[in-house]
A and B are shown apart, each in its own frame.
Chain A
Amino acid sequence: MEKIIEEGRIVSLERVLGQIYRLRLHCPKIARAARPGQFVMLRVREGTDPLLRRPFSFSRIYALKGELEILFRVVGRGTLLLSRLPADSTLSLVGPLGNGFTLPADKSAPLAFIAGGIGIAPLLELIAQVVGGRGQKGSGELHLFYGARSAVELLPEEEVTIAGLRSHFATDDGSFGYQGRITRMFEDVLAEGAFRPLQIYSCGPLAMQYNVAKWALANDMPAQLSLESLMACGIGACLGCALAAATPKEAGEERFVHVCEDGPIFSAGSIKWEKILAQQTAPPTWPFN
């Protein structure tokens, strides 16, 4: 698959709510090649601050218009600069990168989508493609479980609801929807017995992904999880984006997968979760400076 370097023009950039922004870019070559779950390496600006590109997945792909949408949360210097860019400016993009989600062949398969926080981004395009691919009838078995810390970090209901999709919301503080972890809500709904997905798609913070993976493995259910890691190149050259992989070929031997090339979508069983939970990325320091 061809990787492209392209100048993207900002069509629009708006704050959705809280620290969440929506960026729409005109970059026809990448938009035409992009698939849900893949990502781009975006150069926030020229020069050396920040030096490295930042990875972002596609929250929407408009192939015909040659446009891409990125939903991002301001967490540090790069995303802060990004949120302040004037419309009509251009950004360098490298993409589309990574493996992307695999859509189910069976167009009537019941599916669960689990999103935590900004992890909703790649699922929006995935859901749009799944729903679009099966027509509005017979797609009642698509369930989205979407949680965030509180209502101020949860996209408004109308932004995520789409005909043919049942949405369930949760917040840690109970300010909207179910109070508690989204994975708990998911387990509760499944325990009722009315809905049993054939496959889970999920994206969110590591702790959430760990719980999804644990559940999927215990219940023998296939899951496609979108994972993150710090990245320098995004194209398999620096080997910086390693995550500990499960099932080493020889017992005791360490093995790593690389998020940019082997992922960012991984099955629950391919990751050595204990190892990566121990090395969660540090919180940002910029609010203190």
Chain B
Amino acid sequence: MGKNPGTANGAPNLAVQLGPLRLKNPVMSASGTFGYGKEYSSFLDLRALGAVVVKGISLKPRAGNPPPRIVETAGGMMNAIGLENVGVEKFLEAKLPFLRELGVPVIVNIFGNTLEEYRELAARLSGAEGVCAIEINVSCPNVKEGGMVFGTDPKMTEAVVRAVRTVTTLPVITKLTPNVTSISELAKAAEGGGSDIISCINTLAAMAVDVFSRRPRLANVVGGLSGPAVKPVAIRCVYEVTRAVKCPVIGIGGIGSATDALEFLLAGASAVQVGTANFTNPAVMSDIIEGISRFLAVEAIEDINSFIGSLDTSCVFPFSEDSCALIKADMD
């Protein structure tokens, strides 16, 4: 056996630092695809995850949209769940303790109709033991009030982030929508409002129709597209955002394998969230963590942080100039 790269025990270092937030590895669940964590506890060891991001929480419980709420599309799915959730009080009382006792870092995704609601939610969660960060959802395409209304206007985004920032000392993540002309503008606005971290992307606004009934396939008419189909859009967003802001970025969208995750890290994301892939394979995140570790070992990369953002955009031709010359000489 050759030299074993990595830390003392031979395994590469996977720990990442996202501003004030330290994670033992860069792989987390994406909000709304992992329930409150417990739903997956018989499929994987939740403690192995970088963090669990729970379903979006609002001040009051929400019943959600009428069904049909989901539809499968080519290489993806659309959903219009409508942010059904148990509400912050029940979350703290009935859902959080399970994760806290396991010792899993919990990131709470929050959603409000007004600035005041975002502020109240953040304040309520700040004191809660076990919560390691707040992710502000200003990007849900499936509800009429709030949601994307905040997330498509830089001034509103900044105001929401500031409202949350002023009432909490927890790390604040702002989750952006791709349904805008310039996601960089919104990233800058979120950073300006005091966001420690940016996460992107939420789902893409989408629609599917049925030729027999001549009706939309979702009761909500439009929904959010996720899954492998959105990955190239998401990588482009991460690439743009990481170049527009100084704060760390979490990449989300269509990640289903270790190399998918590594592509986001290469483009500049400091960590990733896995969403739809959890439905296809409920143990996928442990496979991803293991795969990243193996990739780094094979590539003799001791620390994942030296891989993050190391994308080489200087030359699209994958060879050095010397090898270009060699090939050219060969062809002549």
Interface residues on B, range: 35 or more
Partner of B211, one of A4, A49, A229, A285: A285
Residue of A237, A241, A243, A255 ringed by the most chain B CB atoms within 10 A:
A237
Q: Which parts of B114-153 form the interface with A (CB within 8 Å)?
A: none
Residues of B within 8 A of A242 (CB): 64, 66-67, 69, 84
Determine whether the beta carbon of A239 is less than 8 Å from that of B228. no
Determine whether the beta carbon of A282 is less than 8 Å from that of B210. yes
Determine whether the beta carbon of A51 is less than 8 Å from that of B67. no
Determine whether the beta carbon of A256 is less than 8 Å from that of B70. no
Residues of A within 8 A of B320 (CB): none
| A221-258 interface bits toward B, Cβ cutoff 8 Å, 1 = contact, 0 = none | 00000000111110111111111100000000111100
Number of residue pairs A-B, CB distance < 8 angstroms? 116
Residues of B within 8 A of A240 (CB): 67, 69-70, 79, 81
* A19 lies within 8 A of chain B by Cβ: no
Partner of B64, one of A2, A43, A53, A256: A256
| A49-71 interface bits toward B, Cβ cutoff 8 Å, 1 = contact, 0 = none | 11111000000000000000000
Residues of A within 8 A of B276 (CB): 51, 232
- The CA-CA distance from A49 to B228 in the complex, in Å, is 11
Known A232-B79, A242-B84; contact A256-B67, beta-carbon cutoff 8 A: yes
Q: Which parts of A1-57 form the interface with B (CB within 8 Å)?
A: 2-5, 43, 48-53
How close is B167's CB to chain A, nearest CB, in angstroms? 28
Partner of B84, one of A4, A50, A239: A239
The secondary-structure label for the interface of chain A is: loop
How many A residues, CB 8 Å from partner?
39
Residues of A within 8 A of B84 (CB): 239, 242, 256
Known A49-B75, A279-B67; contact A92-B34, beta-carbon cutoff 8 A: no
| A191-231 interface bits toward B, Cβ cutoff 8 Å, 1 = contact, 0 = none | 00000000000000000000000000000000000000111
In the complex, residue of chain B having the shortest beta-carbon distance to the beta carbon of A231:
B70
How close is A143's CB to chain B, nearest CB, in angstroms? 33
Residues of B within 8 A of A281 (CB): 68
Residue of A4, A235, A253 ringed by the most chain B CB atoms within 10 A:
A235
How close is A54's CB to chain B, nearest CB, in angstroms? 10
Determine whether the beta carbon of B32 is less than 8 Å from that of A50. no
How close is A44's CB to chain B, nearest CB, in angstroms? 11
Determine whether the beta carbon of B39 is less than 8 Å from that of A235. yes
* B281 lies within 8 A of chain A by Cβ: yes
Determine whether the beta carbon of A51 is less than 8 Å from that of B35. no
Determine whether the beta carbon of B34 is less than 8 Å from that of A51. no
| B208-231 interface bits toward A, Cβ cutoff 8 Å, 1 = contact, 0 = none | 001111010101000000011000
Determine whether the beta carbon of B68 is less than 8 Å from that of A244. no
Residues of B within 8 A of A255 (CB): 63
| B267-281 interface bits toward A, Cβ cutoff 8 Å, 1 = contact, 0 = none | 000000000101111
Partner of B70, one of A92, A238, A279: A238
* A265 lies within 8 A of chain B by Cβ: no
Determine whether the beta carbon of A233 is less than 8 Å from that of B213. no
Partner of A48, one of B66, B69, B228: B228
Residues of A within 8 A of B211 (CB): 285
| B38-73 interface bits toward A, Cβ cutoff 8 Å, 1 = contact, 0 = none | 011011000000000001000000011011111110
How close is A270's CB to chain B, nearest CB, in angstroms? 15
Known A238-B279, A240-B70, A281-B68; contact A48-B75, beta-carbon cutoff 8 A: yes
* B76 lies within 8 A of chain A by Cβ: yes
How close is B264's CB to chain A, nearest CB, in angstroms? 18
Determine whether the beta carbon of B70 is less than 8 Å from that of A230. yes
- The CA-CA distance from A38 to B228 in the complex, in Å, is 30
How close is B53's CB to chain A, nearest CB, in angstroms? 12
In the complex, residue of chain B having the shortest beta-carbon distance to the beta carbon of A54:
B72
Determine whether the beta carbon of A237 is less than 8 Å from that of B67. no
Determine whether the beta carbon of B66 is less than 8 Å from that of A244. yes
Determine whether the beta carbon of B69 is less than 8 Å from that of A233. no
How close is A242's CB to chain B, nearest CB, in angstroms? 5
Residue of A276, A281, A285 ringed by the most chain B CB atoms within 10 A:
A281
* B305 lies within 8 A of chain A by Cβ: no
Determine whether the beta carbon of B64 is less than 8 Å from that of A94. no
How close is A257's CB to chain B, nearest CB, in angstroms? 11
| A159-190 interface bits toward B, Cβ cutoff 8 Å, 1 = contact, 0 = none | 00000000000000000000000000000000
* B11 lies within 8 A of chain A by Cβ: no
Partner of A230, one of B55, B68, B76, B213: B68
How close is A192's CB to chain B, nearest CB, in angstroms? 39
- Seen from chain B, the residues whose Cβ lies within 8 Å of a Cβ on chain A are 32-35, 39-40, 42-43, 55, 63-64, 66-72, 74-77, 79, 81, 84, 210-213, 215, 217, 219, 227-228, 276, 278-283
Sampled A-B contacts (13; CB under 8 Å) = A48-B227, A51-B76, A52-B77, A229-B67, A232-B279, A233-B33, A237-B279, A238-B70, A240-B67, A240-B70, A242-B64, A242-B67, A254-B66
Q: Which 7 A-B pairs have the closest CB atoms?
A: A240-B70, A237-B35, A282-B210, A233-B279, A237-B39, A254-B63, A232-B279
